[in-house]
Amino acid sequence: VNVINIKNPFLDQKPGTSGLRKSTLKFKEEHYLEIFIEAIFKSLNNLSGSTLVVGGDGRYGNIEAIEKIIQICVAHKVGKVIIPKNGLLSTPATSHLIRKEEAIGGIILSASHNPGGIDGDFGVKLNTANGGPAPESITDQIFQCSQSLKSYKISNIKIPDLDKFGVFSLGETSLEIIDGLKDYSDLMENIFDFDQISDFLKNDFSLIFDAMNAVTGPYAKNIFVEKMGLVDACVMNGTPLEDFGGLHPDPNLTYASKLADLLLVQKAYSFGAACDGDGDRNMILGQGCFVNPSDSLAVITANTNCVPGYKDGIAGVARSMPTSSAVDFVARALNIPCFETPTGWKFFGNLLDSNLITICGEESFGTGSNHVREKDGLWAVLYWLQILAVKNCSVSELIQNHWKQYGRNYYSRHDYEAIPSTIANQIFNNLSSMLPSLKDNKFAGNLVKQADNFSYLDPVDNSVSKNQGLRIILEDNSRVIIRLSGTGTKGSTLRLYFEKFANSQHNLDLNPQIALKDLINDLDHLLNISKLTKMEKPTVIT
């Protein structure tokens, strides 16, 4: 075991919304990864002798990072390190494995929906023993520790190739190379009726799944091809590549444009779906129909009786604050609680662990349940397919009927990606200082009833998280929210969120950009966003 000393600590290792994300080149800097891992290990009590799960989404640097982490584990006398074959493990599969193996936690090497490759990004997520992302109290502690950390412990023991199953003794550490797919697909098989879904899909309801050359390819092939017996071609971009084949593995209409074209323009399939780099996000498309992720959460909540895993009902639901209130209407009808949390899956952990909620989701293409402690892309896809199989209907019929019953929450998110930080901060600070004066004034033809910076009191541990997004709420409950992203690595990304409710008496078939145009235009007047960013339109519109 060697103790490596470095001259100066790294001062920029502050985890964001979901782990530490930096350019691949930054992570290649000597000692950069090692020091962050050492800071993580210092925050975990009882590490020595315990079990740790380590895997990644296969992006450039994955295997090298796993090998280094194993060597650091050996130096710290971790009892058992569980590694998936070839280092490939999706974020939800990691969450499941941590729980199943009663591990102290897991490390996921991924920058999620950020591009990969030598010119892209790399990242490290830490999950704790419940299987979920480390809470802020721990990530703050890791950051504090990294601020002055100038040494780490590492063993120079030789690591076996990660392409074969096996158990190896490395000093006092046992290394287990396991099948990263099996536990996860078994879990899915326990929740869903695979036979029913497969019959439905073989009977004139065509599926195309886009893995975006990222981690979900092998999982999707295992489930749809091997288990359900569908044709190979139902999975596109199904082989994980170091640079995702140049794709930006963010499943939205802009970055998954080929899939969007197949469903929305060519109308070539009945159902299309895509996941992100690490497999926790999902986009659902029908023939000629895009499902807004906020609506997806509401539909999933409204149809638990279709899915074997949730037949006994659900305890409650939660959504992140910027997510539309569509699910709130369903919760009210089901007479179950609905919680509003800050952005980021870590805030759902306590609610899930205390069984206050069963299902939760975010507007950012994330949905999940208490089966793991992460959002889960393939779970959401299977969930949708199961509902459609039970109801024997199309995506657009399902969503139209949902709106007829509950009304429609017109919703859109506008992202201004990688703009200069000074500009993003200026826009944000401008609104922040205007907030007190907005109340009782007119905005988008309505009175402002509340204008504030969202703060969250966790009902389980009473921790408070401030500064979670600026919001303007109107008398008819329309909302405008702005946030600065905590996952980007270049400049700043400004997110604007718009929501307006239309009850079932109203026109439910408008283009959301039209239905929301007053909110969109008035926010631009108020903050001069297009002028300050010099952008005619956002980088991504959802």
> Which residues between 234 and 263 bind Co ion (CB under 5 A)?
none
Q: Give the residue among 459, 460, 434, 457 at the shortest CA–CA distance from 522.
A: 434
Least distance (Å) between residue 495 CB and ligand VG1: 6
- Residues 492, 224: Cα–Cα separation, whole Å: 38
- Residues 170, 158: Cα–Cα separation, whole Å: 8
Give, to the nearest 10 degrees, the angle between helix 182-191 and helix 377-391: 30
User: Can residue 364 be called a binding residue for ligand VG1 (CB under 6 A)?
Assistant: yes
Cβ nearer to ligand VG1, comparing 207 with 297: 297
Beta-bridged to residue 516, according to DSSP, are none
Size of the site for ligand VG1 (CB under 6 A): 18
Least distance (Å) between residue 463 CB and ligand VG1: 18
Cβ nearer to ligand VG1, comparing 120 with 344: 344
Of residues 34, 38, 276, 328, which one binds ligand VG1 by CB under 6 A? 276
Q: Which parts of 147-251 fold into alpha helices (H)?
A: 182-191, 194-202, 216-220
Least distance (Å) between residue 143 CB and ligand VG1: 16
210 binds, among Co ion, ligand VG1, none (CB under 5 to 8 A by kind): none
Cβ nearer to Co ion, comparing 133 with 512: 133
User: Can residue 468 be called a binding residue for Co ion (CB under 5 A)?
Assistant: no
Task: Give the pair of three-digit tokens for residue 79.
Answer: 């009892």
Cβ nearer to ligand VG1, comparing 53 with 398: 53
Task: Give the pair of three-digit tokens for residue 433.
Answer: 């200082």
| Contact present, 259 and 210 (Cβ < 8 Å) | yes
- Residues 265, 480: Cα–Cα separation, whole Å: 30
Of residues 96, 221, 479, 495, which one binds ligand VG1 by CB under 6 A? 495
> Which residues between 308 and 347 bind ligand VG1 (CB under 6 A)?
320, 343-345
| Contact present, 142 and 126 (Cβ < 8 Å) | yes
User: Can residue 17 be called a binding residue for ligand VG1 (CB under 6 A)?
Assistant: yes
Cβ nearer to ligand VG1, comparing 281 with 479: 281
Cβ nearer to ligand VG1, comparing 113 with 471: 113
User: Can residue 415 be called a binding residue for ligand VG1 (CB under 6 A)?
Assistant: no
| Contact present, 35 and 26 (Cβ < 8 Å) | no
Of residues 51, 155, 487, 489, which one binds ligand VG1 by CB under 6 A? 487
> Which residues between 261 and 290 bind Co ion (CB under 5 A)?
276, 278, 280
User: Can residue 112 be called a binding residue for Co ion (CB under 5 A)?
Assistant: yes
Secondary structure string (H, E, C) spanning 7-60: CCCCCCCCCECCEEEEEHHHHHCCCHHHHHHHHHHHHCCCCECCEEEEEECCCC
| Contact present, 91 and 278 (Cβ < 8 Å) | yes
User: Can residue 414 be called a binding residue for ligand VG1 (CB under 6 A)?
Assistant: no
User: Choosing from 43, 50, 90, 112, which is the catalytic residue?
Assistant: 112
Q: Which residue has the tokens 């999933």?
A: 300
345 binds, among Co ion, ligand VG1, none (CB under 5 to 8 A by kind): ligand VG1
Cβ nearer to ligand VG1, comparing 269 with 344: 344
- Residues 470, 434: Cα–Cα separation, whole Å: 11
Task: Give the pair of three-digit tokens for residue 245.
Answer: 């084949």
Least distance (Å) between residue 426 CB and Co ion: 29
φ and ψ at 184, to 5 degrees?
-70, -45
φ and ψ at 48, to 5 degrees?
-65, 130
Of residues 13, 62, 86, 112, which one binds ligand VG1 by CB under 6 A? 112
Task: Give the pair of three-digit tokens for residue 332.
Answer: 């009210």
What's the half-sphere exposure (Cβ side, CA atoms, 13 Å) at 338? 21
Annotated active-site residue 23? The verdict is no
Quote the strand ranges of 321-441, DSSP E. Answer: 338-341, 359-362, 366-369, 408-419
Rounded to the nearest angstrom, the gap between the alpha carbon of residue 319 and the centroid of all alpha carbons in its chain is: 13
486 binds, among Co ion, ligand VG1, none (CB under 5 to 8 A by kind): ligand VG1
Residues that bind Co ion (CB under 5 A): 112, 276, 278, 280
Residues that bind ligand VG1 (CB under 6 A): 17-18, 112-113, 276, 280-281, 320, 343-345, 362, 364, 366, 485-487, 495
Query: Which of the residues are catalytic?
Result: 112
